[in-house]
Chains A and B, each alone.
Chain A
Amino acid sequence: MKRFKATLLAILFMIPLLYACSEGTDVVESGTYQGTVDEVEPEKTEIYVETQDNKRLELYFNENTSLTRNGETVAFDQLEKGQQVEVEVEKVGQRLEPIAVRIME
């Protein structure tokens, strides 16, 4: 019972921290941007990129998105959090279509 009580209280105090984890995203004009990979979601082939001017871009890869490193095409699993990338995006409505993602390191 004591362990259950401690666990319950620990969860209770940890939950408020979860509120800080929910971050929004930004929409930018079509163009090329440099930034850092903030999050990778392999099952959705999706990445979040934090640009140099603190915009958070949510990019869902599609069949036309090219992913390269040193000019060579690489697989999606080469993307990791913290990598420097250059992304070329096209704004369609308020959606950002990633045309090209280049890993800079």
Chain B
Amino acid sequence: MFLKAQRSRRRLAAVVLAAALAAAGCGGSGGGGGTAADTLVVYTGQAGDWQLNFNPYSPTRIEGLGTIFEPLFFYNVTGSTDPVKRLGESFEWNADGTVLSITTRSGATWTDGKPFTAKDVVFTLDMVAKTPTMNSVGYKGKAAAIDDTHLTVTFDEPSYLVGPQVLGRTWIVPEHLWGQLSDPATNVIATPVGTGPFQLDEFKAQAFTLKANEGYHSGAPAVKKIRYLSLSGNQAGADALKAGQVDWQTGPVPDIANVEKNYPGYKANTTPMNQAALLTCSNAALGCEGPQTDPAVRKAVYYALNRTQVNSLAFENTASEISPGFALLGRDDAVISSKLAERTAPMQPDTAKAGQLLEGAGYAKGGDGLYAKDGQQLALNVKVVAGWTDYITALDTMTQQLQQAGIKLNVQQSSWNEWADARGQGKYQLIIDSLYQGPAADPFYLYSYFFATSSTAPVGQTATPNFARVSDPAIDAAIDALKAIDPKDTAARQPHLDAIQTRVEETVPYIPLLTAGTTSEYNAKKFTGWPDESNPYAFFAVWSAPDNSEIYRTLKPAGQ
């Protein structure tokens, strides 16, 4: 939600600028200046200088995932399309999911001219496995090359769901160069050599440029250069778009519904991806305190919300419905459990039902219209980051809605660091945030991140990222069972997915709000081939790697 903070600042600036622009008759110059028709200018939300770092395994790398260093396959997280071949040709699991056989591409070369072979893949996997500081996915397999285009990866236990990490999120590096590095984890890889569709053109702290790799194995991309800008939040978005200085940025601009009118030549795309929710510190056994530890209170809040109103007042109607089982509506429709009491969270409030739930839990309405139990008013504190205007508006709206249902909400704004600290340590009652998806189009990943006991910690220790402190044997058992089932065997998986979804709906540790849309504005006049509803081939967000690399290599300058 870093982008959110920038968005609000930008909004303020945009109001100021809009007035001035209207008076002065628009115009504008500076920034990148005029750019060639086959140069794509992107703004990833970077404020301030770029620090040289193209190490794909460094958490502070600035670029290179999928563009310079390729994975074996590209997984589209927005849909259940087959993985796209990058450096891999095909892969196959053995019957019990412990051995992954991979065929790699022949004829691909590194940008220094040396050939790519399966041994580079084995080298990369071994490096990740034996370097704890690079192993951010917990990869524990053993890789072995058979010949130049075949390798196997062996696991100790069924690991179907580790597949997308190994195949889609492991960035293959050249053994002949990386083998010489004494400390690959902290090397900034100033001159990256990869197999990807692009290579580093030039780096400057204020902007850097990638150029097309003319020797790319799948044919040189039509976009010849990509320039990455760094802008401050103040004038950035709307103003740079207005001046035509940025071809693609992700983040809302004022009046999203009329982007095509306000920015001639540009279009907007909103992809529902992250599920906005009120996170609750739900587990008293792990140290949570407050009325929200009672499932009846969480359910009452769930029913008392008017989601339609929140969507229009806070999100410019860019958000959409959400399923109480946290499978992503649209993408995961096939696996949404038929056993759920409600397939989607109600968009209209049901205060009567909320009242019944509270009375069933021993609450009684006082003279002030608020529920109370043992003389304690039903009041909940909710934390939000100061400056996240859309979330703050949403909370203000919800405060009024819950007041109608007899629940008091106290909105507490704080700095980002303070908020993130409270969320990690569980020192909160409610927090507004969103849940994110995994490396493939499968709700399993979200469940394993946010609902598994292994991802949580007692209050006072940092949870990663099961912030609600869910620890439920039924959910844990279903997650473990899913790990051992081939994702293709949908019939065998469904009972376990049903179990998780119904349990999540029953206990509401995360009170579902709406599915938040990610909005991109892009120059449709200069480039064609952008993802759209009919062909959502990648997640449409400029900051999401390797999705952006798939879009970069698909785009064509409109002149061609």
To the question of whether A and B form a pair in one complex, the answer is: no
Interface residues of chain A, those whose CB is within 8 Å of chain B, are none
